Amino acid sequence: MKKSTWRDKSKNHVNPDDFSEIEQYDKTSEGLFRLHVPEYFKKLIDFNNANDPLLLQILPSKHEHANSGHFSKDPVGDLNSRKAKGVIHKYHGRVLLIATGTCAINCRYCFRRTFPYTENNASAYHWKEAIEYLKENLDVHEVILSGGDPLMLSTKVLTRFTDQLKTIKHIKTFRIHTRIPLVSPSRINDEFINWLSNVKLNKVMVVHCNHPNELKKNHKKVFKAINKTNTFLLNQSVLLKNINDDGEILSELSHKLFSFGILPYYLNQLDKVIGTEQFFISREQAKTIHQQLLAKLPGYLVPKLVEEISGKKNKTPLI
Ligand SMILES: *Cc1c(COP(=O)(O)O)cnc(C)c1O
Ligand code: SF4
């Protein structure tokens, strides 16, 4: 029998039958944002528990039709900051590239559910426009591959990018924003680790984990391998109602991340994207939860509570 590849594992493995016990499931919400869950993440979900914190992140829910009028399609103003194909330059010194439009998992709370990716992706046309933009902008010293999820791209396509990046002397730091090491860890194979080892820039990987249940023992070797490539590992979470809006859960997450070689970086206020109102936590509640973290954790394990406000030159700390 043919061995299954990483691509098979990152395909959608959940179907409507899996939600037969879940009252909030709504088939029509799949039309708003496709249901897509990889094999590994599916195994961590308890489908008999309607409140399972991993289930709630992927469940097409009837609540996605709520529309108070306070949520919009592009609340963070990304479309206005587009400088070239897949190039978003909002902040000083660093440029974010939308490497690809796809992800291994579709998280229901994500701003990606409304972003027009097909015409906005930097890896199409062999990264040409992105590389030209980076060459011309001498004050940019850090490039961030984001998405979608950049690790959806083959290692060959990633190599094609970093080979061109090498020739741009003012780029010092290479950053990857990805959820794949958590939700589909078999992507982090030897070929990938070899490639990352050979990138001779300062390297940062920001993973995305919201709840301690997402981190399992067998992730340990994955993060160890990444750490060995001299890549700093950081985590960002999104503060999500009924999933991780709790000081105990988030402090457990911080401790667990640390034991896997990852430091907490950002705790993001939800971007107010249409279809995500059921996940929203008010600023006041968010600050209260953050205070609980400050009271429980050593400073280096407290993520920065931030919000992305359209037009601002940095993520805005909520204090
Ligand atoms: C979040 C973000 C970054 C990275 O911000 P840091 O504070 O450096 O982590 C860069 N560009 C854009 C457009 C962003 O949204
Ligand atoms: S960009 Fe990140 S948060 Fe959004 S759907 Fe993809 S993996 Fe999930």
Instruction: Say if residue 1's pLDDT is above 70.
Output: no
Tell me if 105 CB under 6 Å of ligand 2.
yes
Does ligand 2 have an atom closer than 6 angstroms to the CB of 149? yes
pLDDT at 244: 98
Q: How many CB atoms lie within 10 A of CB 80?
A: 11
CA distance linking residue 161 with residue 129, whole number of Å: 12
Q: What is the pLDDT of residues 189-199, one digit of tens each?
A: 999 999 999 99
Q: Calculate the dihedral angle through the C-alpha atoms of 159, 163, 166, 168, rounding to the nearest 10 degrees.
A: -110
Q: Do 217 and 251 meet the contact criterion of CB atoms below 8 Å apart? A: no
Question: Is residue 74 very low, low, confident or very high in pLDDT (cuts 50, 70, 90)?
Answer: confident
Residue 237 Cβ inside 6 Å of ligand 2? The answer reads no
Cβ(113) – ligand 2 distance below 6 Å: no
Looking at the CA of 151, name the nearest ligand: 2
* Cβ atoms 100, 303 nearer than 8 A: no
Which ligand is nearest to the Cα of residue 81, counting in written order? 1
Per-residue confidence band for 118, with pLDDT thresholds at 50, 70 and 90: low
Ligand 2 centroid – CA 295 distance (Å): 30
What percentage of residues in the chain have a pLDDT greater than 90? 87
Q: Is the pLDDT of residue 262 over 90?
A: yes
Read off the tokens for 47.
């489908």
Atom number, ligand 2, closest to the C-alpha of residue 111: 4
Q: What is the mean pLDDT of the chain?
A: 95
Q: Quick check: 79 pLDDT over 80? A: no
Contacts of 235 (CB under 8 A, 6+ apart): 206, 207, 208, 209, 257, 262, 263, 264, 265, 303
Closest Cα to atom 8, ligand 1: which residue? 94
Q: Is the CB of 208 under 6 A from ligand 2?
A: yes
Give CA–CA dist 85/93, Å, rounded. 19
Looking at the CA of 108, name the nearest ligand: 2
Taking the CA of 104 as reference, the closest ligand is 2
- Please provide the DSSP assignment of the chain as one string: -PPPPHHHHHS----GGGGTT-TTB-GGGGGTS-----HHHHHT--TT-TT-TTHHHH--BGGGG---SS-BS-TT-TGGGEEETTEEEEETTEEEEE--S--SS--TT-GGGT---TT--TTGGGGHHHHHHHHH-TT--EEEEESS-GGGS-HHHHHHHHHHHTT-TT--EEEEEESHHHH-GGGS-HHHHHHHHH--SEEEEEEE--SGGG--TTHHHHHHHHHHTTEEEEEEEE--TTTT-SHHHHHHHHHHHHHTT-EEEEEEPPP-BTT-GGG---HHHHHHHHHHHHHHS-GGG-PEEEE--TT-SSPEE--
Query: Does residue 297 have its Cβ closer than 6 Å to ligand 2?
Result: no
* 225 touches ligand 2 (CB under 6 Å): no
Q: Which residues contact 20 (CB under 8 A, 6 or more apart)?
A: none
CB of 86 closer than 8 Å to CB of 98:
yes
Measured from the Cα of 90, ligand 1's closest atom is 13
Segments making up each domain of the chain, as ranges:
68-317
Q: Which of 79, 144, 305 to mutate to test the pocket of ligand 1 (most atoms within 8 A of CB)?
A: 144
Question: Tell me, what's the pLDDT at 139?
Answer: 97
pLDDT of residue 298: 98
Instruction: Identify the residues whose C-beta falls under 6 Å from ligand 1.
Output: 88, 90-91, 94, 96, 144, 315
Give me the pLDDT at residue 184, please: 97
Taking residues 110-120, report their average pLDDT: 79
At 129-156, the pLDDT tens digits run 999 999 999 999 999 999 899 999 999 9
What CATH number does domain 68-317 carry, 3.40.470.10, 3.20.20.70, 3.40.50.2300, 3.65.10.10?
Answer: 3.20.20.70
Asked whether 165 and 150 are in contact (CB, 8 A), the reply is no
Q: 119 falls in which pLDDT band (50, 70, 90)?
A: low
